[in-house]
Amino acid sequence: MDIKTTFEESVAASKSLPNQSNENLLKLYSLYKQASEGDVNVEKPTNFFDFAAIAKFNAWESLKGVSKENAMQQYIDLVKSLGN
- The predicted structure's pLDDT at residue 68: 97
Whether the pLDDT of residue 78 is over 90: the answer is yes
User: Cα–Cα distance between 71 and 6 in angstroms, integer?
Assistant: 12
User: Cα–Cα distance between 76 and 25 in angstroms, integer?
Assistant: 14
Class of domain 3-82 as given by CATH:
mainly alpha
What are the pLDDT digits (tens) for 9-38?
999 999 999 999 999 999 999 999 999 999
Residue 62 DSSP class: T
Contacts for 20 with CB less than 8 Å, ≥ 6 apart: 28, 82
Residue 57: pLDDT band with limits 50, 70, 90: very high
- The predicted structure's pLDDT at residue 1: 77
Whether the pLDDT of residue 59 is over 90: the answer is yes
